[in-house]
Structure 1
Amino acid sequence: MNLKNTKPVLLFDVNETLLDMTPLKNAINTLLEEPLAFKIWFGMVLHHSLVDNCTNQYHDFSTIAAAMLKMTATSLNKTITEDETKKTLSVIRNLKAYPDVLKGLQLLKENGFRLATLTNSPENPLKEQLINSNLTDVFELALSIDTIKKYKPDPQTYEWAATKLGQEPQNIIMIAAHGWDLAGAINAGLQTGFVAREGQSLYSLSDNPTFQAKDIYEMALVLIEEYK
């Protein structure tokens, strides 16, 4: 029996953790005619979001995503148009949740957990994503770093989310499929939960997450048992 008086608040990453990025991956790989194009692009997006953090600048995720798609094309000796860039990246607004997500999130809510998001996506695309994936009503708060203008894994983002949720960091579990995100959350004092989506791995130079599961439904079962 867990003797804690209250259940922790659960804070979820969105892209790749809740939403299946396969359609965007296919669109980018097809556009650039390279099976690794998406991986190259996503790595560049993360890299240059941290450049913004380190240089005290801010360009929203959509702006960085478009710039990095052009840079990825250049690195692959391809040329793409503004229309191709816009059309390809628009796919991210219509991603669907993995099959395990809604069932797992609803189960958590039914068992008294508070749920929120914390994503690098801007507020308007985030709202569209949650609507198009039928997840809008699941979350108490849909938090985007667009408000604070500091990208995860900067500790300020997690501290800001804790303030918005009215919680101490240690009473929040950050749940994500990305090792870098969990490393940032651990550094900010949060508990963490790793969702082992295909192709994702933990950051081996960071502390281990508090919880691990293969998907959101399994994570729900783990947390319900831990905090019953």
Structure 2
Amino acid sequence: MPAIPRPEVLVLDVNETLSDLEPLRARFETAGLPGHSLDEWFAATLRDGFALTAAGSYGNFRTIGGDVLRSMLVSAGLDAEEATIGGVLSGFTELGLHPDVAPGLQRLHDQGLRLVTLTNGAAAMSERMFTEASVLPLLEHRLDVEAPGRWKPHPAAYQYAAEVCGVEVDRMALVAVHPWDIDGARRAGLQGFHLDRRATPYPEAFLAPDLQVPDLTALAEAVQTMLSH
């Protein structure tokens, strides 16, 4: 395998890549939906965000996610009042990090990489999570897609991160669990580092990642190898 150039900036996706969404299942159940509805809801929220971006428009994650959840609740004959929707979605502010994230970010930071986050959600939702894990000081910027007005994987989202960091896109690598995000970043000129947390086949339709590892600890080890070459 050819040597991979070491990036200057790691752009980290947040939802599922850093944060563990599993606790949200209990909130869906409290609202009367089965726990597996979380997966349907998350996929549909991404679908609608992508659709607006493809149409040249924009909607924020909370509004789109709320609309999707309302439709799911109504379809199931359940209470779809704002208090119920808010009770589910407020769980995003109470999520924790995957166990490998804090030590992995510390190692990457110690190796001299600049770390930023870029999410299709709201950057503010993750502040408590990062603070409690003592990783907030490691993050140079915490970005979301409101400013560019385009959801990832639109190239404008990644270009926005590059502009904020003051580097060219080819000096950055996106770290994400989602193949669609890796594909979008690569097409925008970034490297793509895939965290294969679920050990599932990578889709052939997408551009392959430059690097595939199971978690952030393994990513830190791979970056250390880049330094030694």
TM-score by length of 2: 0.90
Aligned counterparts of 1:68 and 1:199: Cα–Cα separation in 2: 28
Task: Tell me the equivalent position of 1:95.
Answer: 95
- In structure 1, the partner of 2:130 is 130
Distance 1:220 1:15 in 2: 20
Gap regions ≥5 residues in structure 1: none
Instruction: Say whether the 8 Å CA contact 2:175–2:193 is kept in structure 1.
Output: yes
Q: Deviations over 1:144-181 (max 9, x none)?
A: 11222211111110111112112221211100011111
Equivalent residue number for residue 212 of structure 1:
212
Partner of 1:120: 120
Comparing 114-123 with 56-65, greater Cα deviation is found at 56-65
The CA distance in 2 between the partners of 1:37 and 1:215, in whole Å, is: 25
Once the two structures are superposed, the pairs formed by residues 18-37 of structure 1 within 5 Å of their partners are 18-37=18-37
> d(CA) in 2 for partners of 1:48 and 1:101?
29
Q: Residues 54 and 184 (structure 1 numbering): CA distance in 2 closer, same or farther, change over 3 Å? A: same
Partners in 2 of 1:93 and 1:13 — Cα distance?
16
How far apart in 2 are the matches of 1:128 and 1:147? 22
TM-score (norm 1): 0.90
Is the partner of 2:19 in helix, strand or coil? coil
What count of residue pairs does the alignment treat as equivalent? 227
Which stretch shifts more, 54-63 or 114-123? 54-63
**Alignment CA distance shift 1:8-1:80 (3 Å):** same
Describe the SS at the equivalent of 2:206: coil
Residues 1:53 and 2:57 aligned together:
no
CA apart distance, 1:28: 1.8
Deviations 1:29-57 (A, max 9, x none): 44243242111101110011012213333
2:66 is aligned with 1:73: no
Bigger CA drift: 104-113 or 75-84? 75-84
Residue 181 (structure 1) aligned with residue 203 (structure 2): no
Distance 1:146 1:133 in 2: 25
2:68 and 2:159 mapped to 1: Cα distance?
A: 28
SS in 2 for 1:227: helix
Supply the distance in 1 between the matched residues of 2:31 and 2:134 (Cα, whole angstroms): 28
Q: Give the partner amino acid of 2:96.
A: K
Letter in 2 for 1:183: D
Q: Give yes or no for contact 2:4–2:210 (8 Å, CA) kept in 1.
A: no
* CA RMSD between the two structures: 2.2
- What letter corresponds to residue 81 of structure 1 in structure 2? E
Query: Which moves more between the two structures, 42-51 or 58-67?
Result: 58-67
Does the CA-based 8 Å contact 2:196-2:212 persist in structure 1?
A: yes
